[in-house]
């Protein structure tokens, strides 16, 4: 190609790209009908998908009825679009992790997360001890177990009761509702927590835990045992979509300028060793939990939450992932542009 034409093309390319992006959003339909339709379609399409297995390393999770399924969109102005078993309460598990990271950003700063926990995806399973050995310094990130236990230990509190109170209250504030611990889940998980206890002790030994190891483990396990329904998760996500202010209660939960850092960690590490696959196919910052819940954030617009107990090998809910991917693609809201996954 003639060099002048090449130069001209190079100059015009950014403008063309901008036009495509603008056009993309201009034709996007975020009407109430379109959002409800996307939720209904995702629900119908994956309702009968039986792939995956309930988590069973926490014994009680194996008993949750496997066919439960719910899908919810919560918008930044507080509207809800729902399908399925939206009232069912399940344990929040790792979906809690970014919200405790947000609490540390509030109390201290995003920088403290980078310095004292790390923001690097491990590329390894959520409970990996190998990751701790490999990345000795900036060991992990707040979304794997090690980093999440470290995050609990980093919360500034005078004692265990206050540590729990701050963490619990923070998650309630994001959800805009009162949330109780599921006692059976806590008992089951805390009495079988030797792997996480090992992680807490390794961190403590490496000066990467900032409170008593057993206290940190116990409060972390309580955090993971909080009962939520799919609507709660959606509102938690919508609070992030709304720049840190809960759209239902109006309570500010995170400074608007800290939201991008939190979403960046969710985008790179929210699905552990499946984080790349997730961003490739769904294009949204999100967080999963072994209870079967997932919440994804469309910044500035809305959140999509889904719940289904059966998990894949990485510990991520099969149908919840499928439903959110479907909605992301149907509404064209991937953060890098519309994803064509189906
Ligand atoms: N509480 C669970 C654990 O520590 C959380 C794991 C998860 O949801 N991925 O193993």
Helix (H) or strand (E) holding 84: strand 80-84
**Residue 1 binned pLDDT confidence (cut-offs 50, 70, 90):** very low
According to DSSP, the residues that pair with 293 across neighbouring strands are: 307
Q: Give how far Cα 23 sits from Cα of 11, 27, 28, 326, 335, Å.
A: 20, 6, 8, 21, 15
Express each pLDDT in 151-172 by its tens digit. Answer: 999 999 999 999 999 999 999 9
Which residues are part of a known binding site for substrate?
94, 145, 189, 196, 220, 272, 290
- Residue nearest to ligand 1 atom 3, measured at CA: 145
Say whether pLDDT at 20 is over 50.
no
d(CA 291, CA 126): 14
State the chain's mean pLDDT as an integer.
92
25 Cβ contact partners less than 8 Å away, ≥ 6 residues apart: none
Say whether pLDDT at 22 is over 60.
no
Which residues are part of a known binding site?
94, 145, 189, 196, 220, 272, 290
d(CA 272, CA 270): 6
**Residue 339 binned pLDDT confidence (cut-offs 50, 70, 90):** confident
Say whether pLDDT at 224 is over 60.
yes
Domain ranges of the chain: 14-20+29-331
Say whether pLDDT at 61 is over 60.
yes
CATH number of 14-20+29-331, picked from 3.40.710.10, 1.10.260.40, 3.40.30.10, 3.40.50.1370: 3.40.710.10
Centroid of ligand 1 to alpha carbon of 58 (angstroms): 9
């Amino acid at each position: 190609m003639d060099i002048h034409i090449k130069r001209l093309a190079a100059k015009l390319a950014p403008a063309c790209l901008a036009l495509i992006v603008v056009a993309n959003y201009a034709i996007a339909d975020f009407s109430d009908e379109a959002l409800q339709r996307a939720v209904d379609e995702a629900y119908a399409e994956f309702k009968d998908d039986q792939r995956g297995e309930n988590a069973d390393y926490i014994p009680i999770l194996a008993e949750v009825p496997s066919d439960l399924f719910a899908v919810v969109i919560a918008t930044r102005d507080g509207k809800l679009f729902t399908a399925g078993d939206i009232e069912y309460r399940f344990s929040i598990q790792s979906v809690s992790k970014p919200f405790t990271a947000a609490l540390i950003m509030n109390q201290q700063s995003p920088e403290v997360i980078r310095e004292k926990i790390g923001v690097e995806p491990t590329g390894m399973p959520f409970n990996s001890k190998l990751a701790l050995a490999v990345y000795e310094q900036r060991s992990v990130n707040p979304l794997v177990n090690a980093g999440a236990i470290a995050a609990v230990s980093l919360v500034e509190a005078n004692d265990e009761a206050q540590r729990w109170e701050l963490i619990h209250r923070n998650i309630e504030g994001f959800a805009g509702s009162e949330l109780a611990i599921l006692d059976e889940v806590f008992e089951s998980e805390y009495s079988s927590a030797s792997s996480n206890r090992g992680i807490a002790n390794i961190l403590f030994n490496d000066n990467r835990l900032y409170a008593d190891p057993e206290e940190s483990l116990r409060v972390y396990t309580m955090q993971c045992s909080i009962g939520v329904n799919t609507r709660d998760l959606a509102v938690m996500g919508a609070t992030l979509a709304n720049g840190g202010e809960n759209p239902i209660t109006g309570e500010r939960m995170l400074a608007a300028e800290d939201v991008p850092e939190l979403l960046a960690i969710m985008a790179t590490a929210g699905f552990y060793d499946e984080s790349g696959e997730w961003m490739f196919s769904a294009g949204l910052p999100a967080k999963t939990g072994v209870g079967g819940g997932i919440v994804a954030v469309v910044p500035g617009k809305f959140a999509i939450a889904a719940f289904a107990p059966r998990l894949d090998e990485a510990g991520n809910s099969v149908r919840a992932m499928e439903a959110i991917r479907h909605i992301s693609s149907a509404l064209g809201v991937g953060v890098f542009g519309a994803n064509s996954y189906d």
